[in-house]
Structure 1
């Protein structure tokens, strides 16, 4: 005789089987459940009465439906540089290519690295000719150095220029037969995906700005095109970022400022980028999903925290070289912003900064020990920020007002239509109070006669422009919008 519980279970099973047969015979009318492809249709396709769900999907017209988070492992703490030799021994590396520049090669960070590798018996060679703000020629020189050595791992010790150069040395030694433009971002290069893992790369940042220790992006000047560009793919990101606050104590005040301005714009641009689900096209294969995907719920957390820390601690770090708490917090902010923008992306400040740096009319920033003219990357992105966020404000007033509140603005009674202007004013005040910053493009030596070339240098930066809110998709209108932004950025 069956027990009551067995009878109940048997009855439930019969009902479930009966319901399943009914569904198979008469599918429900709800398109979400009756058609597995429904969630993959763009709104425009769903409105078409002649659209057949059996027709192959047009991926070029569809918005994204997923985001993907990727970041390097991070170790943070004063003195942790000395562990790097053990890291390479633990991973079984036998031939390490150490990448640095001529200035960092003399600092304690490199001393700690050399001692650590030697102590663990790890064979290594040093390339110390990285160029600050690297060009394609300096990248090629570094690649040519690495290929004959055939390292099984890389170690980058320095700022963003060093880490980015090491990423590209790693890429082109892993793909030794690739042409230089094969992986470079389209349309300046072919934009091919990186189809296999690279060798281990450990990054030891000595500046607090780029966040390159956690991103899959490498930036350089493509001299023939008079524009900055780069390569972006998750496989380029370092295996480990060793963030040791002791390594940033040697930064001059000017470098603290410009590096921190990069953090400022990384966090603001990724916070205000278009949402990931508004980006098109959706990739047919996840390997083609870009590293820069648009703002998403996870990147938002990192970006907003990085913004708050930068507003609080950057003025202190610039003002007092002995304020080690502020320096440490800025290194952490740079890494947090790296996770944020490394997945959400940046937009107009960075897209416009590349021709600003590449077309430098002769400006040399105070405090940089370098013989040639230089517009530091952080300066080139921040100089357009008041104009940019005034322009993007209407796209998402709530986010722009939230950012303005971080700068100390009272937004309790602010009108949404004023959001961009309020954030723009907050940024301008912050930059002025930071001190010794060029107040617009004119201070860098640009005039209105340069605007057309600056616009043409910005247009190819599709990788970041596609994430810019309010920017037109129609090229002639986009060109006019960019021209207006450069005009607005002449002075603030």
Structure 2
């Protein structure tokens, strides 16, 4: 630019250093700061110390949040459109993923008919395990690899959708070791460096919200704990949310799935704020899917909570209440968007060893061999104790949640927020019916608590979002978790 003065980088550096030397060695001459003993001198000393102290990047708090969710199509009958969706994608080899029960249902008939009408080639894997284990996930991956699909279609509940996500991941990265992407510290927690193949998810239960999220959960048997993989690139391309597909759900499945929605919404609403999370990522690709409560996730989480409290009892108690069933399916999707970006915390972190260390309990209404603690049951059983514990972290939010249960909070003191929400939750669970009233009803005793605590400790991905939990001191954290399990023995 004409007339501009050019300064070489070396001279510019010297000039900056000279200005710093002047700034930090001479008191200012302005009249109001000319006193050498003025507080400015203290500021100079602080500045010098700050310049000399290395920055601890691990303690830098987050300053941003991201919003990611699958595209969603909602409406009765939309399942029949799935064949056209794959044709529009140009898919030539679709891997259809389901389980032994869902393959007999109308939802599966609809997707197969749609694929065949559009002439889309497909293969079916129907051996998904409910509450999948790492072994069942690996079996599914081994089935998919030789077929070399260019797209995936998941038809079923959260177990089916999560299994399809991992089939997609490990066929897209066939050379990866299984633990490469598994959440740390149980796995290596590597980010997914690239897009996966298209995945369309058709949920047949109203609970997990897995059709919207980049999270897949399974049992890591060798560690006796649930874990998973979480990354935005794992989320489905499209969720086809069809209320007709949940009409065949048994009452027990409506209840346990709905309890998962309840805790998704409550935990994401009460998680630590995103700007309190550490460390701040050095690269955006390392920003976790679970970020902490944020202004966008709050909207989805609170609406999902309101709808769950209103419609879940109706959906459980009246199999012909199709309005309530439809509202619960939508609530599951709303909660999925909320927790898929904010995250969950203690109820889910504690639920993983509860399911993984099942002493032999089989939940009524589940038609499968062997013991099972449904995910929603394992999550909700600790909820009254958890929200009593977290109440002091943000009383206003806990009272807003209690108000969703019909509690008059106009005269409630802030210090009572956790107790009030815990009591409202316990009453809601009791009225829902046929739910275990604490860990004792699942067959756990106090002799199991130490193992439950040890199974919870590795769940750092969700525990780091828990209000009031002291993760800076391992002994304190263990004691806090032990007390929560003790308080969850009965309610």
Fold shared, TM-score > 0.5 on shorter chain: yes
Q: Assess, with a 3 A threshold, how the Cα gap between structure 1 residues 47 and 293 changes in structure 2: closer, same or farther.
A: farther
Alignment of 1:217-256 (within 5 A): 217-256=215-254
Match of 2:438 in 1: 440
Deviations 1:339-398 (A, max 9, x none): 000000000000000000000000000000011100000000000000000000000000
Give 1:10's aligned residue: none
1:35 match: none
Residues 1:47 and 1:480: Cα distance change in structure 2 (over 3 Å): farther
Selected match of 1:345 from 323, 331, 343: 343
Pair 1:319 & 2:313 matched: no
Within a 5 Å distance, the mapping from 1:5-154 to structure 2 comes to: 49-52=48-51, 57-154=55-152
How far apart in 1 are the matches of 2:84 and 2:397?
44
What residue is the counterpart of 1:308 in the other structure? Answer: 306
CA distance in 2, matches of 1:56, 1:118: 63
Q: Unaligned regions of 5+ residues in structure 1, if any?
A: 1-23, 30-45
Please give the alpha-carbon distance, in whole angstroms, between the structure 2 residues aligned to 1:374 and 1:146.
27
Partner of 2:33: none
Shift of residue 52 of structure 1?
A: 2.3
Residue in 2 that maps onto 1:36: none
Superposed displacement of residue 48, structure 1: 6.7
**How far 1:47 sits from its partner (Å)?**
6.8
3-state secondary structure, aligned to 1:74: strand
Q: State the 1:56 CA deviation.
A: 7.3
Offset at residue 57 of structure 1 (A): 4.6
Q: Which residue in 2 is equivalent to 1:41?
A: none
1:215 matched to which residue of 2? 213
Deviation digits for residues 291-322 of structure 1 (CA, Å, limit 9, x no counterpart): 00000000000000000000000000000000
Question: For residues 476 and 102 of structure 2, what CA distance do their matches in structure 1 show?
Answer: 45
Separation in 2, partners of 1:261, 1:137 = 27
Mapped to 2, the partners of 1:241 and 1:432 lie a distance apart of: 33
Distance in 2 between residues matched to 1:230 and 1:120, nearest whole Å: 35
Q: 1:61 to 1:319 in 2, by over 3 A?
A: same
Q: Secondary structure at the match of 2:264?
A: helix
Question: How far has the Cα of 1:50 moved from its partner?
Answer: 1.3
Equivalent in the alignment of 2:365: 367
The one-character-per-residue Cα deviations of 1:166-223 (angstroms, maximum 9, x if unpaired) are 0000000001000110000000000000000000000000000000000000000000
In the alignment, the residues of structure 2 paired with residue 282 and residue 52 of structure 1 have an alpha-carbon distance, to the nearest angstrom, of 21
Residue equivalent to 2:194: 196
Change (3 A) 1:47 1:256: farther
The structure 1 segments of at least 4 consecutive aligned residues displaced by more than 6 Å after TM superposition are: 24-27
The separation in 2 between residues aligned to 1:118 and 1:317, in whole angstroms, is 34
Q: Figure out how many residues of one structure are paired with residues of the other and give that number.
A: 451
Normalising by structure 2, what TM-score? 0.90
Aligned counterparts, 1:158-197, within 5 A:
158-197=156-195
* TM-score normalised per structure 1: 0.90
What is the deviation of 1:98?
A: 0.2
